[in-house]
């Protein structure tokens, strides 16, 4: 590779400089490029596998929900008289509306399912243990907020299913001891579900809850980067024990003998 780099034509070098200039400009003034590189190319244990991708999958599902949700909000009308008609228009009349609404609707289930799978992975790998307890707690909050998103979003189609499912859901909240009836009345915006309920649920669904989720995802990722990724329980590197460092043997062929060993170890 080193010789290939030397053989670059002047034109190619010019081109690379032109591409790199804005990147360097940004990096010099913000450090963002280095930060993103640090995030993307940070070291992880060598025996991570597909199970470790569930968190990113959940994040992707959330991003799909956020983007499709913003676009649905272009056309949705949170008003008791027109909510149902606007959903019908999105589904039947507007070009590709059926697809985006379908993505949002089914994506909601995918998001919840992935959250549970991710949670199961973390639980079964013991990845919630010291020093990652706080990240587990943030994850539980995210799960609760995700479920709240599901609950508030379910009312928005404003059909019979949506209406009565929400009546039942709110009244389940209402059976909580002491403050349950207050919570139910707050969610309904009055003694029964009415015009205020729809607006309240829409606002919570597209502003308050996603905002909270985004903030917590930021914290969640920060802690993942700060604390690193756990090895699976079957990892030969037993938890809490330092792995014996790879000492190059006399013939300097350690890297060939143990292909799994980290690069850089045979740099002497």
Partner 1 sequence: MAPQGDCGSWYVVDTRYGARVESQEDRDLSQHDTEKPHLPPPSLWPIGFAIGIACVLTGLVVSWVAAAVGALIALVFGFLWIRDITSGVRQPAAPVETEARPLRDTGAPPAAEGEAAMPVMSEEEIAAYPRSTFLSAATLGLGAVIGGIITVPVLGFAVLPSFTNQRKPNVDLGPLENFPEGQFIIATYLEDPKVGEVSRRTMFVRNNGLLEDKPSFTMLFSRCVHLGCPVQPNGIIDSENMKTVGEQNVELTPVLVSNFGCPCHGGQYNTEGNRTAGPPVRALDRAEFSVRDGKLYLGEFYSVGEVKGAGARARIKKYGHTNPGVHVDGIEAWLYPIEVPG
Q: Which stretch in 58-66, 70-78, 104-112, 230-238 sits in contact with partner 1 by CB under 8 A? A: 230-238
Q: Which residue, 150 or 180, is less far from partner 1 as judged by CB?
A: 180
The secondary structure of 144-200 as a DSSP string is HHHHHHHHHHHHTT-SHHHHHHHHHHHHHHHTSTTTHHHHHHHHHTSSSS-HHHHHH
Residue ranges in 1-40 that form contacts with partner 1 under rule CB under 8 A: none
264: left (phi over 0), alpha (psi -120 to 50) or beta: left
Q: Is 221 in the site for partner 1 (CB under 8 A)?
A: no
Given candidates 2, 18, 40, 247, which one binds partner 1 under the rule CB under 8 A? 247
* 216 in Cβ contact with 142 (< 8 Å): yes
Helical axes 133-155 vs 160-174, angle rounded to 10°: 130
Query: Which of 8/262 has CB closer to partner 1?
Result: 262
Residue 68 contacts partner 1 per CB under 8 A: no
**CA atoms within 13 A of residue 143's CA, in its CB half-sphere:** 15
Structure-block tokens of residue 266: 């045979």
- Binding residue (CB under 8 A) for partner 1 from 22, 41, 191, 251: 191
DSSP 236: S
Which member of 67, 77, 189, 255 binds partner 1 (CB under 8 A)?
189
Q: Which 154-183 positions form the footprint of partner 1 (CB under 8 A)?
A: 164, 167-168, 170-172, 174-175, 177-178, 180-182
Q: Does 131 bind partner 1 (CB under 8 A)?
A: yes
Beta carbon of residue 44, minimum distance to partner 1 (angstroms, whole number): 7
Q: Are 106 and 100 in contact (CB under 8 A)?
A: no
The site for partner 1 (CB under 8 A) is made up of 43-46, 80-81, 130-132, 164, 167-168, 170-172, 174-175, 177-178, 180-182, 184-186, 188-196, 226-231, 235, 237-248, 262, 264-265, 267-268
């Amino acid at each position: 590779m080193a010789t290939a780099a030397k053989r670059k034509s002047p034109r190619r070098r010019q081109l690379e400089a032109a591409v790199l200039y804005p990147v360097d400009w940004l990096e010099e003034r913000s450090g963002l490029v280095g930060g993103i590189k640090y995030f993307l190319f940070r070291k992880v244990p060598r025996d991570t596998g597909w199970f470790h991708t569930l968190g990113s999958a959940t994040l992707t599902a959330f991003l799909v929900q956020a983007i499709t949700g913003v676009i649905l909000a272009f056309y949705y009308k949170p008003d008791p008289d027109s909510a149902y008609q606007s959903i019908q228009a999105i589904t039947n009349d507007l070009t590709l509306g059926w697809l985006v609404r379908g993505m949002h609707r089914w994506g909601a289930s995918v998001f919840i399912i992935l959250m549970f799978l991710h949670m199961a992975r973390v639980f079964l790998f013991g990845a919630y243990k010291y020093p990652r307890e706080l990240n587990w707690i943030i994850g539980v909050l995210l799960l609760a907020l995700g479920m709240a998103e599901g609950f508030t979003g379910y009312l928005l189609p404003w059909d019979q299913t949506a209406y009565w499912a929400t009546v039942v859901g709110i009244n389940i909240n209402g059976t909580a001891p002491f403050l349950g009836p207050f919570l139910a009345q707050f969610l309904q915006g009055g003694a029964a579900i009415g015009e205020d309920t729809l607006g309240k649920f829409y606002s919570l669904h597209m502003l308050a809850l996603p905002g909270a989720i985004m903030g917590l995802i930021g914290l969640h990722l920060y802690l993942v980067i700060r604390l690193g990724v756990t090895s699976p329980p079957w990892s030969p590197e037993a938890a809490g024990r330092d792995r014996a460092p790879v000492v190059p043997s006399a013939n300097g062929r350690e890297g060939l003998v143990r292909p799994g060993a980290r690069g850089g170890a045979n740099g002497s």
